Amino acid sequence: MFIMRQIKFYCTLLSSFLVFNLSSAMAADNKNCQFTEQESLHIQQAAHTLPHQLIKPLEISRHDQAYCLQSSFIQALINQQPGLQPAGYKIAFTHEKVQKMFATSEPAHAVIFAQQFLPSGSKIATNFAVNPMYEADLVVEIKSAQIMRAKTHLQMLEHIRYLYPAFELVTLPFNMQNKKIREQISANQLIAHNIMSVNFVLGEQITVEPSSDFARKLGNTRILVTDENNELIQTADTESIMRHPLNALAWLIEKFNQQGLSLKAGDRISLGSLGKLRPVENANKQIRYQFVNWLEQPQVTMSFVANTKPETK
């Protein structure tokens, strides 16, 4: 029993060490991260209440300030939830219209934890978050840290192991009925709170081929989102992610190289949203998203139900 307690202690310590270093590295070029008492209190409370309660926005005027706050938010999460394991990164604001909507001129990144991944077919509680929403996404799994040297799409594919169609479940935990609060919701606000991801439902695993044909197909894929009655919810094209999904990954690689960071084998990267962010509607509704111009038509499904706790993948 003593040995098991020791093992648990060291696993928790290692987890905290990993997240602390990840958070510190993310703010590597923000050497003077300083917080007011109000900011520190807000971050602690937000880490405790999200994604289930509304929060008030902070006054954030700069990107570096937002990433400093994000690092602090991540550390607060791991302090309050020992065992959280970093598993990759999310890239957000990958479409010009979304950038304009959130008053930014470039994408942004946030941390993904292993506990956020769910298997295809998961049953999702409609109250998984305050203001619950979902969107179609693309996720890749890194094969090698050598991807940090990649300059072309083909070179990137050589260091990517898998591609997944995925749903991202998110929250927008602000009182959007209040005009003053609405006007404060910018990219910096979301960056500070780790861009509000709650879960990712992963679909069929696609083995990546390091070929020009695979790169071309990935950049010219149409996706179809339908309900249980096969009624259309929306369509989208992968080129909506920075004209090619791998351009989003190239952006992240460049940013990390500038900051002295590195992707590693096993990291999962959310490349960006496909189509519109949609509110969760009624329970007992199944949603399917599939690649329609691939022979095998890879897909991912999930169902919204009144209340349940899905298992992680």
Q: Tell me the domain boundaries of the chain.
A: 85-305
Instruction: Name the residue among 124, 171, 156 with its Cα closest to residue 300.
Output: 124
pTM for the model stands at 0.88
Positive or negative, the Cα torsion across 65, 198, 240, 264?
positive
According to CATH, the topology of domain 85-305 is Fumarylacetoacetate hydrolase; domain 2 (3.90.850)
- Print pLDDT tens along the chain (313 aa): 433 444 333 333 333 334 444 544 444 444 578 889 999 999 999 999 999 999 999 999 899 999 999 999 999 999 999 899 999 999 999 999 999 999 999 999 999 999 999 999 999 999 999 999 999 999 999 999 999 999 999 999 999 999 999 999 999 999 999 999 999 999 999 999 999 999 999 999 999 999 999 999 999 999 999 999 999 999 999 999 999 999 999 999 999 999 999 999 999 999 999 999 999 977 778 999 999 989 889 999 999 998 755 445 5
